[in-house]
Amino acid sequence: MEPIEEEGTLTRGERNRSMKYSTADGMAYSLMTGLGDAYIPAAAISLGATNFYIGLLAALPQLFGAFLQFFSLSILRFFKDRKLIVVAGAFVQAVCWLCVAAVMLWPGPLSIELIAVFFTLGTGCSLLINPAWSSWISDIVPENERAGFFAGRNRLMQLMLFAATFTAGIVLNQLQLAYPAAVAFGIIFVVAATARFASTFFLTQMSNIKYEIQLMREIQLKHLFMLPAHRHELWFLAFVALLTFSVQFASPFFTPYMLNELHFTLEALGIVTATSVLAKILSYPYWGKIIDRFGNRTVLIAAAFLSPLGSVLWLFSKDLPMLLLFNIVSGFIWSGYEIAVFNYALSMVGRELRPSFISKYNIFVNVFYAAGAIAGGLFLMGFGNAMLFGFSGFLLVFLISGIMRIVVALAFTPKLTSGREVLNTSQERAMVFDLVAVYPTQGAVSHVLTGWNFTRKAVSSTTERGGRIMKEGLGATGELLVEGGRKLMSKVSRRKHL
């Protein structure tokens, strides 16, 4: 490993070189995700996995990742080298993808279980290195360039993810004409492993920067539950966690529903999956403008109330064109949610809590992600034949997921505090109505017509406050613990809810 540099000693050329390789790393990572993660459930189904196993396949990596978060700060303190941690984690994930490919190419009686083990280990390592990567990259990219850099990097990653997911479905469909399904998946996963090895190489080419351990402060989980000053942060974490649970109750089972019940080809599955990614890309500029106008909290609330459509719409049609339309709607909604929750989190944080918060936030989200997927699998296993409102099996799971999402939105969004004083609650209610009932249609049509105009505004467009915080770097992503005086200020707006 190269010598560790002080942050201020990097030359302009070294920073530019590191930023270039970071973008290449992101694109290679998206290629791995589009070829690998997107098709793991389909691969397991080809080996005969049950619905419960599909739920476990979605749950175990997140649960393992949440467990590893307890050690992320200790690992950082021990090695004192963020680059070493990130490169090692990426390399282990690449090796795990090779192992998954080997299992598919030479299947045996324990193939499904081995896929779950290797996929869980690889994804867990990827989640483990997130805090170190976020802190490292924020020290490499100059403060006044971060918004533009991450907007461009995110744009290229989304394009690569769309292209990889779309192309993989077509390639898999053609490979199955000549080879068994398991072999076809094995070939695709070899390419996914190669992409992660390439990502690892790009990471090794980035400059190393000394990490000041003494600046790191840690927030214990017990502080979130025991200290009244953290009440607003806890409400936010509970909202995100329970909404994640509600979504994951259904999310892992769209793939088996399309393959087993609708009998879609892998090509059709790839098209449906990629459509959601494309919808996100085209929707980012719209949501950025809306956040500029109405603020992060309003958009977050609107997205939460729109989120049930992501599963409930699937109850009304089994035709591919309609399912593509449903996924466009879903991608539109989740793009708004992702930008809003990102900026909302940023508005509550301080830099010194960065690594600690990211690990705690990941624990909350990953545990409830896993719990939702397992709960959905157990429901299908125990109540697959139950009937409610004429729906059963997968469709009943989709319905229950939608109901849970609206319940979470109703129960928790009034608890979300705003970073600014809300002087007219009725006006803000009108904003939410316009955002849900009027602007989505106009915005979606406008950006489909204008095509690929989703440059810097896609990510960097935020509220004036959010934009200022965003320039402080992606490394601040997810920090959600308000300190000192800001906690006192939140009490002022506590009664100003929708």
Task: Express each pLDDT in 416-452 by its tens digit.
Answer: 765 443 333 444 444 443 444 344 433 333 333 333 3
Are residue 21 and residue 92 in the same domain, yes or no?
yes
Say what the pLDDT of residue 476 is. Answer: 37
Are residue 108 and residue 254 in the same domain, yes or no?
no
Say what the pLDDT of residue 175 is. Answer: 92
Say what the pLDDT of residue 90 is. Answer: 94
Last residue of a domain, one of 211, 233, 248: 211
CATH number at residue 155: 1.20.1250.20
Say what the pLDDT of residue 410 is. Answer: 92
pLDDT grade, residue 336 (50/70/90)?
Answer: confident
CA distance 346 to 330: 24
| Mean pLDDT of all residues in 190-197 | 96
What percentage of residues in the chain have a pLDDT greater than 70? 74
Residue the block writes with tokens 């939140």: 490
What percentage of residues in the chain have a pLDDT greater than 90? 36
Tell me: pLDDT of 99 over 50: yes
Are residue 400 and residue 279 in the same domain, yes or no?
yes
Give the range among 28-32, 86-90, 130-134, 395-399 with minimum mean pLDDT.
Answer: 130-134
Say what the pLDDT of residue 347 is. Answer: 65
pLDDT grade, residue 9 (50/70/90)?
Answer: confident
Are residue 345 and residue 361 in the same domain, yes or no?
yes
Task: Express each pLDDT in 389-413 by its tens digit.
Answer: 878 889 999 999 999 999 999 998 8
Which among 130-134, 165-169, 210-214, 386-390 has the top mean pLDDT? 165-169
Last residue of a domain, one of 211, 240, 258: 211
Domain that holds residue 61: 1-211
pLDDT grade, residue 365 (50/70/90)?
Answer: confident
**Token pair of 214 as six digits:** 């003494």
How far from 159 is each of 25, 169, 438, CA to CA, in Å? 14, 16, 28
pLDDT grade, residue 460 (50/70/90)?
Answer: very low
Tell me: pLDDT of 287 over 60: yes
Are residue 34 and residue 178 in the same domain, yes or no?
yes
What b/e readout covers 166-183, taking b as 16+ CB neighbours within 10 angstroms? bbbbebbbebbeeeebbb
Are residue 348 and residue 420 in the same domain, yes or no?
yes
Number of domains composing the chain: 2
How far from 330 is each of 23, 273, 280, 379, CA to CA, in Å? 27, 11, 9, 23
Say what the pLDDT of residue 491 is. Answer: 40
Are residue 207 and residue 223 in the same domain, yes or no?
no
Cβ pair 14, 207 in contact under 8 A: yes
Say what the pLDDT of residue 212 is. Answer: 66
Tell me: pLDDT of 380 over 80: yes
| Mean pLDDT of all residues in 238-266 | 91
Say what the pLDDT of residue 226 is. Answer: 55
Cβ pair 373, 58 in contact under 8 A: yes
Are residue 381 and residue 289 in the same domain, yes or no?
yes
**What HEC string does the chain produce?**
CCCCECHHHCCHHHHHHHHHHHHHHHHHHHHHHHHCHHHHHHHHHHCCCCHHHHHHHHHHHHHHHHHHHHHHHHHHHHHCCHHHHHHHHHHHHHHHHHHHHHHHHCCCCCHHHHHHHHHHHHHHHHHHCHHHHHHHHHHHCCHHHHHHHHHHHHHHHHHHHHHHHHHHHHHHHHHCCCCCHHHHHHHHHHHHHHHHHHHHHHHHCCCCECCCHHHCCCCCHHHHHHCHHHHHHHHHHHHHHHHHHHHHCCHHHHHHHHHHHCCCCHHHHHHHHHHHHHHHHHHHHHHHHHHHHHCHHHHHHHHHHHCCHHHHHHHCCCCHHHHHHHHHHHHHHHHHHHHHHHHHHHCCCCHHHHHHHHHHHHHHHHHHHHHHHHHHHHHHHHHCCCCECCECHHHHHHHHHHHHHHHHHHHHHHHCCCCCCCCCHHHHHHHHHHHHHCHHHHHHHHHHHHCCCCCCHHHHCCCHHHHHHHCCCHHHCCCCCCCHHHHHHHHHCCCCCC
Are residue 264 and residue 298 in the same domain, yes or no?
yes
Are residue 273 and residue 124 in the same domain, yes or no?
no
Who has greater pLDDT, 471 or 137?
137
Are residue 306 and residue 196 in the same domain, yes or no?
no
Last residue of a domain, one of 182, 211, 240: 211
CA distance 229 to 2: 43
Q: What is the pTM of this model?
A: 0.73
Rounded to the nearest integer, the mean pLDDT of the chain is 77
Are residue 169 and residue 206 in the same domain, yes or no?
yes
pLDDT grade, residue 366 (50/70/90)?
Answer: confident
Cβ pair 479, 354 in contact under 8 A: yes
